[in-house]
Structure 1
Amino acid sequence: MSGGDKAVRAEAAAWLARLRSEDRTAEDERGFRAWLAESEDHRAAFEVTNAIFEMAGAADRRPEQARADLRVNRRHVLRAGMGLAAASVAGLVVYLRSGTTYATEIGEQHKVSLEDGTLVSLDTDTEIHVSMNDTRRQAKLRKGRAHFDVAEDKVRPFQVIAGDQRISTPRGHFDVSRDGMVVSVLLEEGLLEVELENPVAGVPMPRLLAAGQLVVFAEDKVVREERPVMERAGAWRQGRLAFFGEPLAEAVAAMNRYTRRPIVILDPEIAQMPISGNYSVGDPQAFATSISVLLPVRVEMERNRITLRRTEESRA
Structure 2
Amino acid sequence: MTDASPGKALEEAVEWMIVLQSPTPAQCQAFDAWLAENPLNIDAYSKACAGWNHEAVAHVAQALEVPRSAAKPRPSRKGRWRHAVAAMLVIGVAGVSNLPLRLQADHLTATGERQRFDLNDGTQVVLNTDTALSSDGQEGTRSAHLYQGEAWFDVPGRARPLEVQAGPLVAHANGSTFTVRLLKGETRVQVARGEVQLEGARQTLNVPAGMGVSLDASGFSRPAPLHPDEDLAWLRGRLVFVDRPFKQVLAELSRYYPGWIVMANDALGERRITGNYNVQDPAAALRALAQVTAASLRELPGVMLLN
TM-score where L is the length of structure 2: 0.63
Quote the Cα distance in structure 2 between the aligned partners of 1:261 and 1:133: 38
Quote the Cα distance in structure 2 between the aligned partners of 1:222 and 1:112: 30
Quote the Cα distance in structure 2 between the aligned partners of 1:223 and 1:303: 40
Quote the Cα distance in structure 2 between the aligned partners of 1:232 and 1:273: 19
Match of residue 149, structure 2, among 140, 144, 148: 144
Quote the Cα distance in structure 2 between the aligned partners of 1:293 and 1:134: 54
Alignment of 1:94-109 (within 5 A): 101-109=106-114
Q: The residue matched to 1:128 in structure 2 has which SS?
A: strand
Quote the sequence identity (%): 27
1:167 is aligned to: 171
1:117 is aligned to: 122
Q: The residue matched to 2:136 in structure 1 has which SS?
A: strand
Moved over 2 A (4+): 132-136
- 1:127, CA displacement in angstroms? 0.7
- 1:306, CA displacement in angstroms? 1.1
Amino acid corresponding to residue 261 of structure 1 in structure 2: G
2:71 is aligned to: none
Amino acid corresponding to residue 108 of structure 1 in structure 2: E
- 1:288, CA displacement in angstroms? 1.7
Quote the Cα distance in structure 2 between the aligned partners of 1:235 and 1:163: 24
1:249-268 deviations in Å (ceiling 9; x for gaps): 11001011012222211111
* Aligned-pair Cα RMSD in Å: 1.7
Q: The residue matched to 2:220 in structure 1 has which SS?
A: strand
Q: The residue matched to 2:221 in structure 1 has which SS?
A: strand
Query: Bigger CA drift: 267-276 or 133-142?
Result: 133-142
1:222 is aligned to: 220
> What stretches of structure 1 of length at least 5 have no aligned partner?
1-98, 310-316
Q: Would you say the 8 A contact 1:135–1:156 is kept in 2? A: no
- 1:206, CA displacement in angstroms? 1.9
TM-score where L is the length of structure 1: 0.61
- 1:134, CA displacement in angstroms? 5.2
1:300 is aligned to: 298
Q: Would you say the 8 A contact 1:126–1:145 is kept in 2? A: yes
1:64-120 deviations in Å (ceiling 9; x for gaps): xxxxxxxxxxxxxxxxxxxxxxxxxxxxxxxxxxx9711111111110111211110
The yes-or-no answer on 1:193 pairing with 2:193 is no
> What stretches of structure 2 of length at least 5 have no aligned partner?
1-103
Quote the Cα distance in structure 2 between the aligned partners of 1:179 and 1:288: 22
Match of residue 183, structure 2, among 168, 179, 183: 179
Alignment of 1:264-279 (within 5 A): 264-279=262-277
1:101–1:121 distance in 2 versus 1, CA, 3 Å: same
Task: Give the paired residue count.
Answer: 204
Quote the Cα distance in structure 1 between the aligned partners of 2:127 and 2:278: 16
Quote the Cα distance in structure 1 between the aligned partners of 2:243 and 2:218: 30
Q: The residue matched to 1:271 in structure 2 has which SS?
A: helix
Q: The residue matched to 2:154 in structure 1 has which SS?
A: strand
Amino acid corresponding to residue 241 of structure 1 in structure 2: L
1:268–1:225 distance in 2 versus 1, CA, 3 Å: same
1:252 is aligned to: 250
Query: Bigger CA drift: 133-142 or 185-194?
Result: 133-142
Amino acid corresponding to residue 149 of structure 1 in structure 2: D
Quote the Cα distance in structure 2 between the aligned partners of 1:141 and 1:240: 22
Q: Would you say the 8 A contact 2:295–2:306 is kept in 1? A: yes
Q: The residue matched to 1:285 in structure 2 has which SS?
A: helix
Amino acid corresponding to residue 116 of structure 1 in structure 2: D
1:14 is aligned to: none
Q: Would you say the 8 A contact 1:163–1:180 is kept in 2? A: no
Q: Would you say the 8 A contact 1:263–1:284 is kept in 2? A: no
Q: Would you say the 8 A contact 1:164–1:219 is kept in 2? A: no
Quote the Cα distance in structure 1 between the aligned partners of 2:142 and 2:185: 22
- 1:292, CA displacement in angstroms? 2.5
Amino acid corresponding to residue 135 of structure 2 in structure 1: V
Quote the Cα distance in structure 2 between the aligned partners of 1:208 and 1:268: 39
Amino acid corresponding to residue 181 of structure 1 in structure 2: G
- 1:222, CA displacement in angstroms? 1.5
Quote the Cα distance in structure 1 between the aligned partners of 2:150 and 2:290: 29
Quote the Cα distance in structure 1 between the aligned partners of 2:222 and 2:252: 18
Q: Would you say the 8 A contact 1:164–1:220 is kept in 2? A: no
